[in-house]
Amino acid sequence: MQLSLLPDEKTMYAALVKKENEFEGIFYAAIKTTGIFCRPTCTARKPKEENVEYFPSPKEALAYGYRPCKVCKPLEHKGATPEWLKSLLAEISANPQLRLKDYELKVRGIDPARIRRWFKKHHNMTFQAYLRAMRISSAFGQIKNGENVLNSAYDHGFESVSGFSDSFKNVAGFSPSKSKFENIVTISRIVTPLGPMMAGATDDGLCLLEFTDRRMLETQLDRLRNYLKAELVPGTHPIFDQLEKELKAYFEGKLQTFTIPLVTPGSDFQQKVWQILGEIPYGTTRSYKQQAEAYGNLKAIRAIAKANGDNRIAIIIPCHRVIGANGEMVGYGGGVWRKKWMLELEQKFK
């Protein structure tokens, strides 16, 4: 099965004109008249069809003498944190108790309006809401590990326990005094070569890894809340450090087996299907029929396909390795183009 072939040029040009997100990473459009190359989703004025040629990666476009577009920046991972924001996020990660007013952002050379737009676009919350969530996430861990509410409130910059409690309830969904008996899922945004992903972790392991543009993401988040009886709160977690290292190694073709602990709440049937998914070797594929055979019930093909789709941990539980009986790239929650990309990667390095 060849996975490196580009779509036909009519399809690619139509995707370029419509700025279709599903073709991100599948092709790059090089403009003969300007000498630049772009992502399919570039917002710059579109060229005539005869003035475009296509490449499967930025490397090939550069080899043919094209320059990267300054509008869509095709050499950067989609959703990557911009340089002007990296040092601030590192500062916040090192000190979750940090409180920053607009004038303090300006002292750091950051336009408050610019950072508000970025957080709204990429985290669907304001920058100040993000800071509050980080403080609450840190306070939750502190209280859960034995600190009293009063000290935690003052440690995190709150001037009163009542103000701390109100803010805590708004973010976590329960009062800080109940932290020892409640759970939260810490969530974070992870950038990958296939676009940004949302990761979720508990103290027991990784419970969520989904592409942020997946249509079922909100449904999966709701299910996770219900299964774990927990609220989802932005923050940092040691598991994310391990996740980023293992994902980086995977995308570089240096890792074939993930070791990160997983939390996969679901029905007994789903648990079994996900276990079977995890047994598909790196660089190989199975059909849904073969999955049903591994499960021991050929009549369960449709139910197994649905359970595959309900998998909340992409890549690591490799539902992308399941294909149609005829070898076709059939449904994948993260988009068929991502499925093709990962199978091509794995075939190259297996």
Cite the active site residues: 319
CA–CA distance, 118 with 121 (Å, rounded to integer): 5
Eight-class DSSP state of 50:
G
Q: Taking Cα atoms as reference points, which of 272, 265, 279, 273 lies closest to residue 220?
A: 265
Q: Report the DSSP pairing between strands 195-202 and 36-38.
A: unpaired
Do the beta carbons of residue 258 and residue 297 sit within 8 Å? Answer: no
How many Cβ atoms are within 10 Å of 241's Cβ, its own excluded? 10
C-alpha radius of gyration, the chain, whole number: 23
Kindly state the tokens that stand for 78. Answer: 């989609």
Partners of 36 in the β-ladder:
31, 67
Eight-class DSSP state of 77:
P
